[in-house]
């Protein structure tokens, strides 16, 4: 009795609940919008077709396996199947795609510098031909062999939609990693094949003998059912990717879409999809790609956190952080102090130009000319219109302090002599970044109307939290900094000690590292509550960014408490404490779920 309801109770509902628990902390307004949008489309498009199949006896349901209520002859359990399959597959696609910045897979196919984009055109045309034929042939053969009725109806129903989705989103469907496209199709398809096999074997539903080909994928699994579940999951995933494609276009090209609501209308989404690829800004796309590459290579904690943000805020945060990393690399990796000083001047001149009241493209090009080509693509996208200039200039002051370690009198007059010097340095190189990130958060606030006092409080707390993260960074990198002639532990702390033997000096250094780490955790404990006063759409991302970095501090603190070495190789970074990727993902998920780390 009620076998169909049991199928849901045993197989589909528990899976949907599991995916909801996993995705729950990661849900954004866009995710909810996408799920609801696809649900409406899937159910409204499938009901007339499914009703026709039942009324024409292509498939049937024994009266004793369903509860009874029907919609246009479709059992309530079947209608629920449309809903829950769409939900399961969409949730899986969202989970697997969270880390992806979709915009970097867009291509201007008219740009000669994008040969990969031009090569997609034959694939686009081939797909259009295939899906057009799949739409037309079943109609032409409708009077043919009755045994192929069900298969023809599946193709006639699905192929026109596949044609439309392929036309809209072929770039992403071809260029995205297979784990973001084919894996979310394959996993639920295989699962539903197994469920369907069990249901067909039990007689929960059946395909009439005169309408099927009689071919089995494996015992009890009809070829038509296998194709049906495969195609329906393709429809859901391709629809989800098309939705992402529209949002990527809206986010990536503010020159065409100056204002993007949190939940754009379907008309605006269609407008984005109809934007010709020849109008895509190739320079912006290249800059985004280079920025994300820098971020993935140089800051795995922030790279992880960036996946939690969405929309233009995510893009601008990536561009800001990439600018900071490019500056750090060019100045810090300079072969000499003189060369490093030249890079500081180049960056200072660039900022002077960007923040000049007069827009001068020629002067901007001149200011960019000393930089490597990839760096230029990143610098030119700095969202300076949303950022105050003072923190960026202070960041350069921090780089200048770094260079003082290589001055001739650095041994007698070290740049970090007192804790006040350390605090000033951390303010320049890290508090500034915290302030800049939060400025972007408030610039992108879709709700508007933030209390000025709350905003100022959060900006101040963000700056202090930036210092705390830098202290963790300093404690982690004592050995690697020493190898290049830098010591950020205040010189006066050592001057007060009488330690002379190497072991005594090593122990003293460990004590000082613990002091700095303790300071970091005190600042963290005093300021983490301010995160809860940030706009809701950015709160989770900031939490993940902070907690991912403080997890490094917790590893260091654990090692100090248990007498373990702090300087070790981890994840290919010699001498640096590192959090394994699996643990970083766990920390990120648990943080978004509302779990607070220890202070």
Position 473 scores a pLDDT of: 92
pLDDT of residue 255: 95
Please tell me the distance from the alpha carbon of residue 323 to that of residue 49, in angstroms, as a whole number.
53
Q: Which domains can be identified in the chain, with CATH numbers?
A: 3-99+113-280 (no CATH), 284-593 (1.10.600.10)
Check residue 569 and give its pLDDT. Answer: 42
The answer to whether 522 and 558 have CB atoms below 8 angstroms apart is no
Which residues share a beta bridge with 60?
A: 206
Could you give the angle at the alpha carbon of 325 between the alpha carbons of 323 and 327, nearest 5°?
A: 70
Terminal C-alpha separation, the chain: 56
How much is the pTM?
Answer: 0.89
Q: How much is the pLDDT for 572?
A: 43
497 contacts 476 by C-beta, under 8 angstroms? no
Q: Cβ–Cβ contacts within 10 Å for residue 273, how many?
A: 17
* CA nearest neighbour of 391 among 449, 333, 445, 430: 430
Q: Compute the distance between CA of residue 548 and CA of residue 565 in angstroms, rounded to an integer.
A: 21
Q: DSSP string covering 457-511, please?
A: HHHHHHHHHHHHHHHHHHHHTHHHHHHTT---S-HHHHHT----SHHHHHHHHHH
Give the chain's radius of gyration (CA, Å).
29
CB contact at 8 A, 543 and 304: no
Q: What span, in angstroms and rounded, lies between the C-alpha atoms of 104 and 117?
A: 12
Asked whether the beta carbons of 26 and 91 are under 8 A apart, the reply is no
Q: Which two tokens stand for residue 266?
A: 């379907």
Using an 8 Å Cβ cutoff, are 79 and 46 in contact? no
Residue-level pLDDT, tens digit, the chain, 599 residues: 578 888 899 999 999 999 999 988 888 889 999 999 999 999 999 999 999 988 888 877 777 777 889 888 898 999 999 999 999 999 999 999 988 999 999 999 888 776 555 678 899 999 999 999 999 988 887 766 677 788 899 999 999 999 999 999 999 999 999 999 999 999 999 999 999 898 878 777 666 666 777 788 888 888 988 999 999 999 999 999 999 999 999 999 999 999 998 889 999 999 999 999 999 999 999 999 999 999 888 776 677 777 788 889 999 999 999 999 999 999 988 888 889 999 999 999 999 999 998 878 899 999 999 999 999 999 999 999 999 999 999 999 999 999 998 887 778 889 999 999 999 999 999 999 999 999 999 998 765 667 889 999 999 999 999 999 999 999 999 988 888 889 999 999 986 665 567 777 778 888 899 999 999 999 999 999 999 899 888 888 888 888 888 888 998 998 888 888 776 444 444 445 566 666 767 777 777 666 666 66
Q: CA quadruple 490, 495, 497, 500: dihedral positive or negative?
A: positive
In angstroms, what CA-CA distances link 80 with 19, 21, 46, 483? 17, 20, 12, 64
């Amino acid at each position: 009795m009620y076998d169909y309801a049991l199928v849901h109770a045993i197989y589909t509902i528990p899976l949907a609940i599991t995916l909801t628990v996993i995705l729950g902390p990661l849900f954004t307004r866009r995710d909810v919008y996408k799920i609801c949008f696809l649900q409406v489309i899937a159910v409204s498009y499938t009901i007339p077709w499914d009703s026709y199949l039942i009324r024409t006896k292509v498939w049937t349901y024994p009266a004793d396996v369903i509860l009874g209520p029907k919609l246009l002859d479709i059992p309530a359990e079947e209608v629920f199947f449309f809903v829950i399959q769409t939900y399961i597959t969409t949730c899986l696609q969202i989970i697997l795609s969270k880390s992806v910045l979709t915009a970097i897979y867009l291509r201007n196919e008219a740009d000669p510098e994008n040969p990969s984009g031009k090569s997609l055109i034959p694939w686009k045309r081939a797909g259009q031909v295939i899906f057009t034929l799949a739409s037309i042939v079943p109609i032409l053969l409708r009077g043919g062999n009755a045994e192929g009725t069900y298969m023809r109806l599946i193709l006639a129903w699905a192929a026109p939609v596949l044609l439309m989705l392929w036309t809209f989103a072929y770039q992403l469907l071809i260029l995205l990693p297979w784990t973001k496209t084919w894996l979310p199709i394959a996993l639920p398809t295989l699962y539903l094949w197994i469920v369907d096999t069990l249901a067909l074997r039990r007689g929960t539903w059946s395909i009439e003998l005169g309408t099927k080909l009689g071919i089995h994928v494996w015992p009890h699994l009809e070829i038509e059912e296998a194709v049906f579940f495969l195609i329906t999951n393709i429809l859901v995933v391709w629809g989800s990717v098309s939705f992402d494609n529209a949002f990527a276009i809206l986010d990536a090209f503010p020159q065409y879409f100056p204002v993007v609501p949190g939940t754009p209308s379907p008309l605006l989404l269609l407008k984005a999809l109809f934007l010709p690829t020849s109008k895509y800004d190739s320079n912006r796309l290249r800059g985004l790609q280079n920025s994300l590459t820098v971020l993935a290579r140089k800051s795995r904690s922030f790279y992880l956190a960036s996946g939690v943000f969405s929309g233009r805020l995510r893009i601008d945060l990536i561009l800001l952080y990439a600018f900071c990393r490019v500056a750090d690399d060019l100045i810090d990796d300079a072969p000499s102090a003189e060369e490093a000083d030249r890079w500081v001047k180049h960056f200072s001149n660039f900022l002077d130009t960007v923040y000049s009241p007069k827009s001068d493209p020629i002067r901007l090009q001149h200011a960019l000319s000393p930089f490597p080509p990839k760096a230029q693509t990143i610098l030119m996208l700095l969202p300076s219109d949303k950022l105050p200039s003072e923190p960026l200039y202070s960041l350069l002051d921090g780089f200048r302090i770094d260079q003082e370690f290589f001055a001739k009198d650095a041994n007698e007059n070290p740049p970090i002599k007192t804790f006040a010097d350390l605090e000033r340095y951390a303010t320049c190189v890290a508090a500034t970044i915290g302030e800049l990130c939060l400025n972007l958060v408030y610039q992108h606030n879709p709700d508007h109307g933030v209390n000025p006092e709350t905003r100022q409080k959060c900006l101040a707390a963000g700056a202090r939290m930036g210092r705390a993260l830098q202290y963790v960074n300093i404690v982690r990198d004592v050995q690697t900094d020493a190898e290049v002639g830098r010591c950020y532990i205040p010189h006066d702390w050592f001057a007060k000690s009488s330690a002379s033997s190497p072991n005594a000096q090593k122990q003293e250094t460990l004590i000082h590292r613990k002091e700095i780490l303790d300071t970091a955790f005190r600042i963290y404990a005093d300021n983490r509550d301010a995160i809860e006063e940030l706009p809701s759409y950015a709160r989770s991302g900031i939490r993940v960014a902070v907690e991912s970095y403080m997890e490094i501090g917790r590893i260091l603190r654990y090692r100090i408490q248990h007498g373990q070495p702090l300087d070790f190789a981890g994840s290919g970074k010699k001498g640096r404490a590192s959090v394994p990727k699996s643990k970083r993902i766990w920390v990120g998920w648990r943080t978004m779920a509302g779990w607070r780390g220890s202070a």
